[in-house]
Amino acid sequence: METTELCYPELHNISCRKPQPDPSDVLLSYNLLSLIALLTVTMNLLVIISIAHFRQLHSPTNLLILSLAVSDFLVGFLLLPVEILVTESCWFLGSTLCALYYMTDFTVTASSVGNIVLISIDRYLAICDPLHYNTKVTINRVRFCICACWLCALIYNSLILKDFLIDPYSQSSCYGECVLVLNNITGNVDLICTFIGPITVVVVLYVRIFTVVVSQARSVQSKVVTMQQTVTMSARKSELKAARTLGIVILVFIVCLCPYYIPSFTGEDIVDSSTATPLVSWLWFINSCINPFVYALFYPWFRKSMKLIVTLEILHPHSTHANVL
C-alpha cells in the first residue's frame, strides 16, 4: 500500500510520496489553469498579430507592448501547460525539463520587468520631452533595446541559476519534485536587480510624469488657447491616455510580482516548488492574462484590429494598410 503512494515505487527509499489532494480541488485547479492558459495565449496572440501585421501600429511604444505581449504569451504557451501537468502531482518530466522550466520562468519574468522599465522611459520622454521624442526614440533604437533586454535577462538568469542548471535535483529532498531554492544572498541580489531597482526607476519616472502633467494643465488654464495650442493639447491627450493605460499595466504587474519577493524582505529563502500551486504563481499567471484585456478596454486600435483578425479580413490583399487608428 505504501509503494503505491510513491512517485517512483522502484525507488522506495528516495522517492517522494504522491500528493493526496481532494479530487474537487484538483478539478477546480485544472479548470482554472486551463481557462487562464487559453485566455492568455489567445489574447496575447491577438496583440502580437495586431502590432506585427498592421503598419499603422508600427510605433516605438507599440513595439514595447509587443515585446511584453510575447513575454505574456510564453507564460501561457510554455509555463502554464507544465503547471497544469504537475498540479497536485509528482514531477515526471526529468531533470532537464525541470532546469528548462525554471530558466524559462525566470527569463520571461526578467524580460517582462525590463519591458516595463522601457515602457516607463518611453512614456517619460513622450510626456516630459515631446519636442525631442521622435529623434530620441526611433524604431531601430527600440528594437535594439528590446533585444538587449531579452539577452540581458537570459545572461543574468544563467548566472543566478548556474548551480541549479548544473544539477537541478540538488535542491530536491526526494525524486518526484522539481524545487528551486534561492538562498538569502542570491535572493537579495535578485530582489535588487529584478524588483527594487527597476520598480524604483518606474515609480520615479511616473511621479515625474504626473508632476509635469499637473504643471502643464495649470499653465494651459491660465492662457488663451490658440489653434496651435489646441492641436498640441489634442496630441498631448493621446500621449496621456497611453501613459494612463500603460500605467495601469505597470501597477498590476507590480502588485502581482510583490508576493514573490516577500521572503527576501523577511530574510528567508525563496522556494519554488512544482508540487504545489502557490499564490505567487497564480498571480503571475493572472497578470499575463490581464494585460491584453487592459489594451482592449483602453485602446480602440486593439479592438478594431482584433475584429479584423477574428473575421479573417487580415487575409485580404493590402490588409496591412488598413486604418485601425
pLDDT, position 323: 87
Per the CB < 8 A criterion, the answer to whether 71 and 112 are in contact is: yes
CB atoms within 10 A of CB 198: 19
pLDDT tens digits, residue range 156-166? 999 999 888 88
pLDDT tens digits, residue range 171-219? 777 888 888 887 778 878 888 888 889 889 988 988 888 888 777 666 6
Is pLDDT larger for residue 87 or for residue 248?
A: 248
Smallest CA-to-CA distance from 36 within 90, 79, 92 is with: 79
Specify the amino acid at residue 245: T
Grid cell at residue 13: 527509499
C-alpha count within 13 angstroms, C-beta hemisphere, residue 121: 16
Which residue carries 540538488 as its cell?
A: 170
Q: What is the DSSP string of 160-188?
A: HTHHHHH-GGGG-SSBT--EEEE-HHHHH
pLDDT tens digits, residue range 248-305? 888 888 888 777 777 666 666 565 554 444 566 777 788 888 888 888 788 888 899 9
Q: Kindly list the structural domains of the chain, giving each domain's residue range(s) and its CATH number in brackets, ordered by start.
A: 27-218+233-321 (1.20.1070.10)
pLDDT, position 2: 45
Please tell me the chain's helix, strand, coil percentages from 3-state DSSP, rounded to the nearest 5: 75, 5, 20
Q: What is the DSSP string of 229-281?
A: HHHHHHHHHHHHHHHHHHHHHHHHHHHHHGGGGHHHHTTPPEEEETTS--HHH
- Using CA atoms, how far residue 97 sits from 12, 43, 100, 272, in Å, is 23, 27, 5, 15
Per the CB < 8 A criterion, the answer to whether 208 and 127 are in contact is: no
Instruction: Kindly indicate the confidence band of residue 63, based on its pLDDT and cuts at 50, 70 and 90.
Output: very high
Q: How far is the C-alpha of 185 from the C-alpha of 192, rounded, in Å?
A: 11
Q: Assess whether pLDDT exceeds 80 at residue 13.
A: no
The crossing angle, in degrees rounded to 10, of helices 184-191 and 139-160 is 170
CA 245 to centroid of chain Cα atoms = 15
Q: What is the DSSP string of 37-76?
A: HHHHHHHHHHHHHHHHH-GGG-SHHHHHHHHHHHHHHHII
Q: How far is the C-alpha of 167 from the C-alpha of 210, rounded, in Å?
A: 48
CA 115 to centroid of chain Cα atoms = 8
- Using CA atoms, how far residue 56 sits from 133, 141, 231, 295, in Å, is 18, 18, 20, 16
Per the CB < 8 A criterion, the answer to whether 96 and 167 are in contact is: no
User: What does pLDDT average to over the chain?
Assistant: 82
